[in-house]
Structure 1
């Protein structure tokens, strides 16, 4: 029986165009606008991504906002 710590989460599939595009946005520190289910929108720069979440920096000095990939409706580059 596996323990909780031995379970591995799904790996990020870097062969997917969407994953590669988000990686490019991270690398270039491109500002983005993200629309979520329910109509809420957030702006900032993506700091990292994994198989389940994106980390969004909205303002310097503010904590990162973790956004579930399942909650994102639209992700648009602003620059």
Structure 2
């Protein structure tokens, strides 16, 4: 039990504020905001989380190192 408590105490809390995150535009004109990313928040983070606003449709693409998970708030996927 003591080992689990130590692990929790060493966890890093990361807070992001959506309105303060710089957005960028991709090749298909989607707007991206990186909410959580290893290059921004530290290499110990092994995943990223982004907000994507897709204007029309996104280009089919593949990531060689990671996978993407989509949570669609409006419209529909493939």
| Higher RCO by CA contacts (8 Å cutoff, separation 6 or greater) | 1
> Taking structure 1 as the reference length, what is the TM-score of the superposition?
0.28
Specify the structure having the higher radius of gyration (Cα).
2
> Taking structure 2 as the reference length, what is the TM-score of the superposition?
0.28
